[in-house]
Structure 1
Amino acid sequence: MKRSTLVWPSVVMLGALGFAQMALAHPDIEEFSDTAFAEQPVTVDCTLENGTASTCYKITVNYLPEGLEIGPFCPATMEGAGGVWEWTGENAKLYRVDGAFLKMLDDLGYRFFDDDGTIHIVDIATEQPAVDHACINVSPDESVEITMLLPATPMMADSPTRLGTVSKVGVALDGVPIFSDAPSVQATGHMPALDTCGGHIDPGGWYHWHATSTDIETVYEKEGVDADCALEQNSAALFGYAFDGFAMFGSREADGAAVTGLDTCNGHIGATPAGETYHYHATDDFPNLPACLVGVQAMHNFSTTATAGVGATRAGLGGRNEPPRPGGGASGQMPPGFEVAAEALGVTPDALMQALGDPQAGPPDMAVAAEKLGITEDALRAALPPPPNR
């Protein structure tokens, strides 16, 4: 499915639909599965990122929905097969993580296995890689809860929000958070492998998607990948809601028709069970998610009770089996953006903070910090958020 470049949808939508019909686009909590929530969703006052006062659905979910089977991620040996990975270097495409793929990476200078065929597997929630290239397989933390905010009435933004590495995309109907591209091997040296439904576990111990899992076999068919997702596949089904409140469907229309007229964010105005509304579609390319978001998100729309990873809010604590965070002041809170930077680099936020050292001692030595983390200085500088007030 090819993306087409259209007039920015805020202009089209306001002219063609008007405000009354736009109200039909609100997220429908009844569409979520019965096991999606850790507690019943509520409507709360919230502020959108453009400063608009609004109302949001406050959704709290567990580390993993009840009954959802996940994995495999990393194969134990070169004889086995794990999940999938989108390789973006030479011979770029989506691959099954198996011996043939890892041998190809070895030929390109990325060795993920020992001479006896044992795969280098690391749980970065408890340890850091001792090798240049490891397959990341994080253990779950069953105590973690995630809280998300979805605007009850979506508002079109003045311009789209581009989605980079590990950007927040939305939440699936099973309650699993959705993120954009996972960090590349070229950036971090390591591979946080996805399972065959396109998800994996965050360093904080909770599972999330990097794909439209209920339509991922459309991608496998196009890419020639020998993999199956255990979830029911339906390319016309509603998958979830983006963090701007707009619905996300599979690669077909709700009535099964082919999708036409997509904008650069993989969305358009069309018929849905909720009426003629703006909505996003999956594509047959990986990751089959929106390329950007057209609406305005709520401020502070994602937090977890985890001790590490994206959205971690437990003040003064390190990751599982790790010491307290250094340089965090009395509260122990990390600077904004560090969790996302750590995820992009394939390390824990605590390891990133420890490598950079105490900020009160002066600017960090980036070369030394990069060496401690086993990454390049350029990758470290690119991932870190800008200093405050810049």
Structure 2
Amino acid sequence: MKHLSQLWPGMLVLASVGFGQTALAHPDIEEFSDTAFAEQPVTVDCTLEDGTASRCYEIKVNYMPKDLDIGPFCPATLNDAGGIWDWTGENAKLYRIDGSFLEMLDELGYRFFDDDGTVHTVDNATERPTVDHACINVSADESVEITMLLPVTPVMAETPSQLGTVTKVGVALDGVPIFSDAPSIQQTGHMPALDTCGGHIDPGGWYHWHATSTDIETVFEKEGVAADCTLDQNSSALFGYAFDGHAMYGSTESDGAEVTGLDACNGHVGSTPSGEVYHYHATDEFPNLPACLVGVQAAENFSTTATAGVGATRAGEGGRNEPPRPGDGTSGQLPPGVEEAAETLGVTVEDLMRALGDPQAGQPDMSAAAKSLGIDEADLRSALPPPPNR
């Protein structure tokens, strides 16, 4: 039985419990809401990403739960208030999308409104932006169904898997998929606005979370954001399950106590209603999700019937657009030399930009980026242009 510190030397793991079967909780289908599923989950044979044969829960959900109240997203004018956005440039923090925020972006060179104060808003699933900077508000496709796989018995990975931009994280108890941080304005030129619970609609037409929505007001309080989520807030509640099978809780323990001893993925072995097991916790900073996943996910664990967007299996058939991508002529300018580097490395520009992360967030983790791309770190460093002088 290995201790966490043996599995991942250097990680900030303080748990004293080893990773045997007694420390790993199984996802509990009974914890999901009555309206979460399009049909009752079943247990199926599956293969984990490390090649291990396993058993998984196959979960099918609709484009959005029937009783979920979403929005607002983009404000109509500078006099209105929309959703929220985590700005990563100068004056970085979480903001309510309102006139003062958009005017600040304007001063930084990102103009999202006309002279009369009308906000540039576009449904990029059905039309392309005609301006340099637009607020994205995607229309829903009620026909979409999503299929996800959760390992019945979690398996610890040799090393954690890092979560980049729009990486699959898990599924909430309401059946809504959970993804890591949305693309930055600096990468695409546009702002795919989140509502005040931290979610929005994918270009494929289905709703998903970019936050632990049942504890997002803890973040609002810390960041000084004047917003309210329509969902009940409970910092100690189970929010959902990550795609490695581990539970995701709010920012406090199940008894309301302060969380201690978290590892680099925001998880630890601690007390839950399922016993002393490994689980993740939300943070008080946005996005308040795990920073990485410690377990092995099922291969091909996410697909949709959508015609665009993440997991699309019928791409190009339904008239919906893929979102604007870096370098496709509908987004912001790529950093110099990135297209040439992608060609040299034999990867797409999109995958390279996703691996490197937000250019405004500081120097990328080159080791993690190389691993996510499946290439040698030395090759990545040699292909990339040198950073600009600052």
TM-score, with structure 2 as normaliser: 0.83
Q: How many angstroms does 1:87 deviate by?
A: 0.3
The whole-number CA distance in structure 2 between the counterparts of 1:172 and 1:307 is 23
Q: Which residue of 1 aligns with 2:93?
A: 93
Tell me, yes or no, if the aligned pair for 2:308 and 2:315 is still in contact at 8 Å.
no
The whole-number CA distance in structure 1 between the counterparts of 2:127 and 2:17 is 54
The whole-number CA distance in structure 1 between the counterparts of 2:331 and 2:285 is 31
Tell me, yes or no, if the aligned pair for 1:27 and 1:245 is still in contact at 8 Å.
yes
Q: How many angstroms does 1:19 deviate by?
A: 2.6
Q: Which residue of 1 aligns with 2:43?
A: 43
Q: How many angstroms does 1:376 deviate by?
A: 1.9
Q: Which residue of 1 aligns with 2:355?
A: none
Structure 1 runs of 4+ with >4 Å offset? 8-15, 379-383
1:20 matched to 2:18? The reply is no
Alignment-mate amino acid for residue 384 of structure 1: E
The whole-number CA distance in structure 2 between the counterparts of 1:59 and 1:158 is 26
Q: Which residue of 2 aligns with 1:205?
A: 205
Tell me, yes or no, if the aligned pair for 1:65 and 1:176 is still in contact at 8 Å.
yes
Secondary structure of the residue aligned to 1:30 is helix
Alpha carbons of 1:304 and 1:72: their partners in 2 closer, same or farther (altered >3 Å)?
same
The whole-number CA distance in structure 1 between the counterparts of 2:296 and 2:8 is 11
Q: Which residue of 2 aligns with 1:190?
A: 190
1:293 matched to 2:259? The reply is no
Q: How many angstroms does 1:113 deviate by?
A: 0.2
Q: Deviations over 1:276-330 (max 9, x none)?
A: 100000010000000000000000000000000000001562543x6xxxxxxxx
The whole-number CA distance in structure 2 between the counterparts of 1:143 and 1:59 is 17
Alpha carbons of 1:40 and 1:316: their partners in 2 closer, same or farther (altered >3 Å)?
same
Alpha carbons of 1:305 and 1:371: their partners in 2 closer, same or farther (altered >3 Å)?
closer
1:372 matched to 2:370? The reply is no
Alignment-mate amino acid for residue 32 of structure 1: F
The whole-number CA distance in structure 1 between the counterparts of 2:175 and 2:333 is 36
1:1-390 superposed matches below 5 A: 7=5, 16-23=17-24, 25-314=25-314, 317-320=317-320, 346-347=323-324, 370=327, 372-378=329-335, 383-385=349-351
Secondary structure of the residue aligned to 1:81 is coil
Tell me how many residue pairs correspond in the alignment: 340
Tell me, yes or no, if the aligned pair for 1:166 and 1:182 is still in contact at 8 Å.
yes
The whole-number CA distance in structure 2 between the counterparts of 1:13 and 1:302 is 32
Alpha carbons of 1:68 and 1:9: their partners in 2 closer, same or farther (altered >3 Å)?
farther
Runs of 5+ consecutive residues of structure 1 not aligned to the other structure: 1-5, 323-341, 353-368
The whole-number CA distance in structure 2 between the counterparts of 1:14 and 1:51 is 28
Alpha carbons of 1:14 and 1:85: their partners in 2 closer, same or farther (altered >3 Å)?
closer
Q: Deviations over 1:195-253 (max 9, x none)?
A: 00000000000000000000000000000000000100000000000000000000000
